Amino acid sequence: MELIKYPRYVDESKCIACNACAEKCPKKVPSEYDTGLAKRKAIYVPYAQAVPLKYCVDPETCIYILKKRCGACVKKCPTGAVDLEQQEETVALNVGSVILTAGFQPFDPSQFDSYGYAKHPNVVTSMEMERILSASGPTGGHLVRPSDDKEPQKIAWFQCVGSRDLNRCDNSYCSSVCCMYAIKEAVVAKEHAGDGLDCAIFYMDMRTHGKDFERFYDNAREKQGVRFISSRVHTIDPVPNSDDLELRYVDENGDIQKEVFDMVVLSIGLETSAQQRALAKKLGIKLSDNHFCQTATFDPVATSRKGIYVSGAFQGPKDIPQSVIDASAAASAAGEILADARGSQTKAKEIVPETDIIGQRPRIGVFVCKCGINIAGVVDVPAVADYAKTLPYVEYATDNLYSCSQDTQDNMVEIIKKEKLNRIVVAACTPKTHEPLFQESMINAGLNKYLFEMANIRNQDSWVHKNNPELATQKAMDLVRMAVSKVALKEALKESELKINQTAMVVGGGVAGMAAAQSLAQQGYETHIIEKSDHLGGQALNIYKTTSGEDVRSKVKDLIKAIDQDKRVHTHLNTTIAAVDGFVGNFKSTLANADGEYSLEHGVVVMATGGSAFEPDEYEYGNDPRIVTSLQLDKMMMAKDPSLASLQSAVFIQCVGSREPQRPYCSRVCCTHSVHNALELKKLNPDMPIYILHRDVRTYGERELLYKEAREAGVIFIRYELDNKPQVAIKNGAITVNVIDHILGRPLELETDLLTLASAVLPNKANDLAQFFKVPINDDGFFVERHAKLGPVEFATDGVFLCGIAHYPKPLDESIAQGKAAASRAVTLLARKTLHTSGEVAETNPMWCSSCGVCVSICPYSAPTFTEEGPFTGKAQINPVLCKGCGLCVASCRSGAIHLKGFDNDQIFAQIFSLDEAVR
Amino acid sequence: MSDWEPKIVSFLCNWCSYGAADLAGVGRMEYPPNIRVIRIPCAGRMSAKFFLAALRQGADGVWVSG
Amino acid sequence: MSKDVIGSVMVVGGGIAGMQSALDLADSGYYVYLVEKGPSIGGVMAQLDKTFPTNDCAM
């Protein structure tokens, strides 16, 4: 692989992000980060939290680079980091695999004349709206419209701008994410502006098919008063003598409406940029007709080229959780082919033996950082260092220009050794970013890393009190004094080490579970699949074809065969879990089958418990063999049932059991399934009239093309409302379906000889497992992951992962990707081989414990338990592996029996008591 | 009266408010210098005894955020 | 498996997907080159205000 490394014009190892360069830079340009709504300089950091937090120069606007004049930044930089002569470099890399996560570009709506995006400042894109609503945005989170900074009273969102549209752009697919983000923006806008704000969303189909999305939609509509209008607005006209905008649209009754809004937000779609397409071409990777990376259902992250994997929106328009799932799946896929070379390119660290300081009088070293002028420009740093020398136990104090630079760190190691220091205070920036760096130096000096404290005299002092140097200096002294008094009481803490059992257990042998097991095995881990039925395959065996036409059964059988042949996968059929003991790295599960019980030790567990189809309780289901569920129709198709070809007509009813008050979630897969089955029926008999009765057609992503194909094939889509559901009757041997046609507003009677009910996807009951592994289940019966966006395949409980329908209804490709993703997350744990617990954990003193159980019930991580044997039976003990050091138990212990190492009572009191002059 | 400035002791959660206070600095916001921050691992660590001790030391206000 | 596999991976793109892939691989014992054309990682998600359903700050 050959890469071009573009010059940054700033040496990252020297830049301290002090902003001196940007302050002096005379060139102002629109900020990309704030979508052009705010300005940045030609030398800049993209945003305050940017990683790396290092400045860079924009060569397209820098006056020096363009005209060889200026260079103010070079002169102003206190560390000499700016180098405007930097050149492009070519870097050659040898790698075993490549993962493409090139992303997407937001659609540019300026090509649409009718929306006047380029002409009217108050027509903004959804990306611009994100910035307007953001507290770190150009308006500081104050919701005002761009033209006159007026607070808007009425805002309209237009859905499907640059999506589902072949007339004005080439994007016929659905962008998947816009419906949800529009609702979110409307709700957040109302939070900012109050209930008086009128938010209206103009849509074609509301697609809230993700986990908990439907609830959010219901809440926005019913509780927050967001208006949802099913209409595509054709024109926006400016209202003369104002910045307002008049919309004309056809409402659901077919009447033309005019309405004036203060602002219009265009919900722009996702597309692949020309640059991203060129990258694919360069790598020799096939793209779909819509320019997304081509993948297969049973290999959802593999590109057309071996060893190159894909994830994120470059594979297809998708939201954050799906991108994160695919990303882990791609990591797993790369890990599967590189397993033999694991660890071959990484380096192990050298360990310096630790000095024993027990019994020693504290000898504290204080290092006060100038951070160039960042601190020293406001705070009198030498005075603070001198003051530090006067404090008890301080043996050494000095100031440094840049404490974090490598030479200062090396010097610090020497000083610690020479002065025999046994506790260190660094007064500098923030422990959030720099504590690990200084602790590393302590380790290199043979000192326990917990004998350390930082005083935050930059982020929380010099930077926020720059007009008050005297008081800022006083504050710095106070903070140093408090830190010194705390560090004197600190102890060397042990991080206990724990072996991780290198075996994995997967609960559930459906495609998600099998995908997880296969991936774990290929990455070198013994894996056990626990399946309660007598065969592997799960629900996938009931599905006829994938949307791209692959035969599901044969693909699933291939997968089962691969599992059976893999010696590292052990399948336990007809087996359930009876009990679970232990915790991350050391689980011991009791398995039960017809022959009795036996135990399995494993380090991690993947929950792939799956789901099943809801059995309809309406629409005359069960009263006529011609009324079937989607899966029953699949079964007829698999059996090549001859009656299908001779059907006179077919009707599908969507949302049977889904999006109802008692089950308020969208089952995600049914719209695509019915549309696909309708097309299969059309293949058998193109003249067969087919009706799909739906509430919104949710063929998200590139599945939209199937919907388009179905409409072109003559499938008729009729929308119904929840309060006006279709009526099914069996009269004289005929099935009739009555529905109100939403366009004509008239009742319609359909006679059919096949009625398919798209029934909801239900999670399998897993309450026992949830209790065994201490993981939560939501109101709908699905498992609750660690984080909806950033932790979609793992639980808050360490060592427990999830995938497939146990998480939420999803199609095969997404289940398989999530199975692989769960494997990837599990491997990151297994690969460590040992667990190091943090030293800053809680510990009980059993002599003081009154066995009241408050800590046991209050801990969110189940770390405290009652001791079961020995002299302290019945007293609480805390497992350091599970403890996250939050201190909740310490604060709630009525006996004062729990200590939180590193944040113990005496240490916090020491800080409070040394406030002294600071509060007098 | 108008010259009186309260002395405030704040206990900030390491994972949210303490980070937010850092970001206030990154954004070069300004606020009066009569506040002293004590970092705690979680607002759940906060004990009534800390409030009382801070007030007894002379603090005019105690602010816990997490 | 072939004898000369290289235990390193290049991840192209530093958005949320790229970062997650890179972290997983690095934590699994592979050397990762995370390649990003812009000056910082974070991608489009860093520009978002909040994320549903919890309305957590996207940053």
Instruction: Look up the CATH number of the domain holding residue A623.
Output: 3.50.50.60
pLDDT at residue C56 greater than cutoff 70: no
Nearest to B44 among A478, A891, A911 (CB): A891
If asked whether residues A570 and A589 sit together in one domain, one would say yes
Q: Lowest-confidence range among A19-28, A110-119, A353-362?
A: A110-119
Q: C39–A323: do the CB atoms touch at under 8 Å?
A: no
- Put simply, whether A798 touches C (Cβ < 8 Å) is no
Contact residues of B toward A, CB < 8 A = 7, 9, 14, 18-19, 21-34, 36-42, 44-47, 49-50, 53-54, 57-60
Distance from CA of B1 to the nearest CA of A (A): 17
Parse chain B into domains and list their residue ranges. Answer: 8-65
Share of chain A above pLDDT 70, in %: 100
CATH of the domain at A390: 3.40.50
If asked whether residues A743 and A621 sit together in one domain, one would say yes
The pLDDT value recorded for residue C1 is: 42
The pLDDT value recorded for residue C59 is: 64
Residue A234 structure tokens: 């054709």
Distance from CA of C27 to the nearest CA of A (A): 5
Provide the residue range defining the domain that includes A225.
Answer: 106-271
The residue that leads in pLDDT, A167 or A70, is A70
The A residues from 601 to 660 touching C (CB cutoff 8 Å) are none
Neighbour tally for A4: CB within 10 Å: 9
Q: Predicted confidence band at A316 (pLDDT cuts at 50, 70, 90)?
A: very high
- Which chain A residue's Cα is nearest to C43? A103
Q: A101–C15: do the CB atoms touch at under 8 Å?
A: yes
CATH of the domain at A882: 3.30.70.20
The answer to the question of residue A659 being in a domain is yes
3-state secondary structure string across A572-593: ECCCEEEEEEEECCEEEEEEEE
pLDDT at residue B1 greater than cutoff 80: no
Neighbour tally for A157: CB within 10 Å: 29
Q: A56–C39: do the CB atoms touch at under 8 Å?
A: yes
Q: Give me the sign of the Cα torsion angle A47, A121, A176, C12.
A: negative
If asked whether residues A59 and A112 sit together in one domain, one would say no
Q: Compute the mean pLDDT over every residue in chain C, rounded to the nearest whole number.
A: 86
**Chains in contact with C, counting 3 or more C-beta pairs less than 8 Å apart as contact:** A
Where a domain ends, among A761, A796, A812? A761
Dist. CA A573–CA A566, nearest whole Å: 16
Count structural domains, chain A. 6
Distance from CA of A751 to the nearest CA of C (A): 42
Average pLDDT on A748-759 reads 96
Q: Predicted confidence band at C18 (pLDDT cuts at 50, 70, 90)?
A: very high
Task: Report chain A residues whose CB lies below 8 A from the CB of C7.
Answer: 96, 338, 341-346
Nearest to A459 among B25, B40, B58 (CB): B25
Length reported for chain A: 920
Q: Lowest-confidence range among A27-31, A307-311, A581-585, A705-709?
A: A581-585
If asked whether residues A778 and A848 sit together in one domain, one would say no
SS3 A133: helix
Pairing of strands A604-607, A611-613: unpaired
Residue A707 structure tokens: 């919907």
Q: Taking a C-beta distance cutoff of 8 angstroms, is the pair B66, B42 a contact?
A: yes
If asked whether residues A120 and A261 sit together in one domain, one would say yes
What angle do the packed helices A812-830 and C16-27 form, to 10 degrees? 40
pLDDT at residue A337 greater than cutoff 60: yes
- Put simply, whether C36 touches A (Cβ < 8 Å) is no
Nearest to A920 among B30, B38, B58 (CB): B58
- Put simply, whether A456 touches B (Cβ < 8 Å) is yes
Q: Compute the mean pLDDT over every residue in chain A, rounded to the nearest whole number.
A: 94
Q: A912–B31: do the CB atoms touch at under 8 Å?
A: no
Dist. CA A341–CA C7, nearest whole Å: 5
Judging by beta carbons within 10 Å of its beta carbon (0-12, 13-18, 19+), is residue A377 exposed, middle or buried?
middle
Q: Predicted confidence band at C23 (pLDDT cuts at 50, 70, 90)?
A: very high
Average pLDDT on A388-393 reads 97
Task: Report chain B residues whose CB lies below 8 A from the CB of A902.
Answer: 41
Report the Cα–Cα distance between both ends of chain B, in Å, rounded. Answer: 32
The pLDDT value recorded for residue A167 is: 84
Dist. CA A839–CA A495, nearest whole Å: 5
Q: B50–A913: do the CB atoms touch at under 8 Å?
A: no
The A residues from 36 to 95 touching C (CB cutoff 8 Å) are 45-47, 49-52, 54, 56, 93-95
Where a domain ends, among A761, A783, A799? A761
Dist. CA A77–CA A9, nearest whole Å: 12
- Which chain B residue's Cα is nearest to A136? B27
The answer to the question of residue A50 being in a domain is yes
* Rounded-to-5 percentages of helix, strand, coil across chain B: 35, 25, 40
Average pLDDT on C29-53 reads 89
- Which chain B residue's Cα is nearest to A470? B33
Average pLDDT on A784-805 reads 93
Nearest to B36 among A463, A890, A918 (CB): A918
Nearest to C5 among A1, A331, A338 (CB): A338
The pLDDT value recorded for residue A17 is: 81
Q: Predicted confidence band at C55 (pLDDT cuts at 50, 70, 90)?
A: low
Name the β-bridge partners of A368: A399, A427
Average pLDDT on A748-777 reads 94
Dist. CA A162–CA A173, nearest whole Å: 9
Q: Predicted confidence band at A47 (pLDDT cuts at 50, 70, 90)?
A: confident
If asked whether residues A584 and A507 sit together in one domain, one would say yes
If asked whether residues A591 and A571 sit together in one domain, one would say yes
Dist. CA A886–CA A858, nearest whole Å: 12
Nearest to A890 among B45, B53, B54 (CB): B45
Length reported for chain B: 66
Distance from CA of C22 to the nearest CA of A (A): 7
If asked whether residues A605 and A644 sit together in one domain, one would say no
Task: Report chain A residues whose CB lies below 8 A from the CB of B26.
Answer: 48-49, 459, 463
Q: Taking a C-beta distance cutoff of 8 angstroms, is the pair A111, A119 a contact?
A: no
The answer to the question of residue A215 being in a domain is yes
What residues contact A513, with CB distance under 8 A and at least 6 apart?
Answer: A506, A507, A529, A531, A538, A606, A608, A610, A803, A804, A819
Q: C1–A212: do the CB atoms touch at under 8 Å?
A: no
Report the Cα–Cα distance between both ends of chain A, in Å, rounded. Answer: 64
The A residues from 896 to 915 touching B (CB cutoff 8 Å) are 900, 902-903, 905, 908-909, 911-913, 915
Dihedral, CA of residue A905, residue A911, residue A913 and residue A916, to nearest 10? -170
Q: A331–C46: do the CB atoms touch at under 8 Å?
A: no
Q: A903–B33: do the CB atoms touch at under 8 Å?
A: no
Where a domain ends, among A796, A819, A835? A835
User: Between chain A and chain B, how many beta carbons pairs sit less than 8 Å apart?
Assistant: 125
pTM, rounded to two decimals: 0.86
The answer to the question of residue A328 being in a domain is no
Interface test mutation site (partner A, options C2, C16, C27, max chain A beta carbons within 10 A): C16
Q: What is the DSSP string of A730-744?
A: EETTEEEEEEE-TTT
The pLDDT value recorded for residue C3 is: 55
User: Between chain A and chain C, how many beta carbons pairs sit less than 8 Å apart?
Assistant: 211
Q: A96–C38: do the CB atoms touch at under 8 Å?
A: no
Judging by beta carbons within 10 Å of its beta carbon (0-12, 13-18, 19+), is residue A781 exposed, middle or buried?
middle
Q: Residue A450's closest CA among A410, A417, A423?
A: A423
CA A881 to chain centroid, in Å, comes to 25
Return the amino acid letter for A667.
S
If asked whether residues A43 and A53 sit together in one domain, one would say yes
Q: C29–A104: do the CB atoms touch at under 8 Å?
A: no
If asked whether residues A638 and A744 sit together in one domain, one would say yes
Task: Report chain B residues whose CB lies below 8 A from the CB of A909.
Answer: 49-50, 53
The answer to the question of residue A325 being in a domain is no
pLDDT at residue C2 greater than cutoff 60: no
Distance from CA of B10 to the nearest CA of A (A): 10
Q: What is the pLDDT of residues A811-822, one digit of tens each?
A: 999 999 999 999
Dist. CA A49–CA A490, nearest whole Å: 31
- Put simply, whether A477 touches C (Cβ < 8 Å) is no
Q: Taking a C-beta distance cutoff of 8 angstroms, is the pair A766, A783 a contact?
A: yes
The answer to the question of residue A152 being in a domain is yes
What residues contact A56, with CB distance under 8 A and at least 6 apart?
Answer: A8, A9, A10, A43, A44, A45, C39
The pLDDT value recorded for residue A861 is: 85
- Which chain C residue's Cα is nearest to A833? C28
The pLDDT value recorded for residue A836 is: 84
Q: A900–B26: do the CB atoms touch at under 8 Å?
A: no
pLDDT at residue A241 greater than cutoff 90: yes
Cα maximum dimension of chain A: 101
Task: Report chain A residues whose CB lies below 8 A from the CB of C30.
Answer: 96, 334-335, 338, 341-342, 345-346
If asked whether residues A68 and A167 sit together in one domain, one would say no
Q: What is the pLDDT of residues A242-267, one digit of tens each?
A: 999 999 999 888 889 999 999 999 99
- Put simply, whether C20 touches A (Cβ < 8 Å) is yes
Neighbour tally for A389: CB within 10 Å: 12
The answer to the question of residue A299 being in a domain is no
The answer to the question of residue A329 being in a domain is no
Q: C13–A100: do the CB atoms touch at under 8 Å?
A: yes
If asked whether residues A217 and A123 sit together in one domain, one would say yes
